[in-house]
Amino acid sequence: MAGKAKTEIFEEVSIDEISNDQPITIYTNKKQIREIIKELGYAIDDDGFVVFKDTGKRVLSSDEQEFKVTEIGALMPANSPHVFIKNNLSSLSRYLADKE
């Protein structure tokens, strides 16, 4: 089976079923991450940046930078507002350091 990716089936859970203090891991694809972003009350502008649905203002990541939906590495949905961490080691390290 060379060239075939291993896939697993995970139970679908709606956003409403996740409690605020429950950590989650989401394995997703491009289409699903866009749906999750919209479900959480955000939108994606014409340039691919995540924006607040009501104002169109670009959302800042944990390192205080605008980011494209393709740059999302992690999402902390329990926080208010949500914390988006870019998909690079620098952003993750900064987020963890700020948590201490």
pTM: 0.64
- Examine residue 55 and state whether it is found in any structural domain, yes or no: yes
Q: How wide is the angle at C-alpha 44 spanned by C-alphas 8 and 67, nearest 5°?
A: 85
- Examine residue 11 and state whether it is found in any structural domain, yes or no: no
**Per-residue pLDDT tens digits for 8-29:** 444 555 556 555 555 555 556 7
How far is the C-alpha of 67 from the C-alpha of 57, rounded, in Å?
12
- 58, 65 Cβ separation under 8 angstroms: no
Residue 3 has pLDDT above 50, yes or no: no
- Examine residue 65 and state whether it is found in any structural domain, yes or no: yes
- Examine residue 12 and state whether it is found in any structural domain, yes or no: no
- Examine residue 6 and state whether it is found in any structural domain, yes or no: no
- Examine residue 49 and state whether it is found in any structural domain, yes or no: yes
**Per-residue pLDDT tens digits for 39-88:** 888 999 999 999 999 999 999 988 888 999 988 877 776 556 788 888 87
> Which of the four pLDDT bands, split at 50, 70 and 90, describes residue 5?
very low
Domain extent, residue 35, equals 24-99
Please give the torsion angle defined by the CA atoms of residues 29, 35, 38 and 39, in that order, rounded to the nearest 10 degrees: -120
- Examine residue 44 and state whether it is found in any structural domain, yes or no: yes
pLDDT at 12: 56
Domain count, the chain: 1
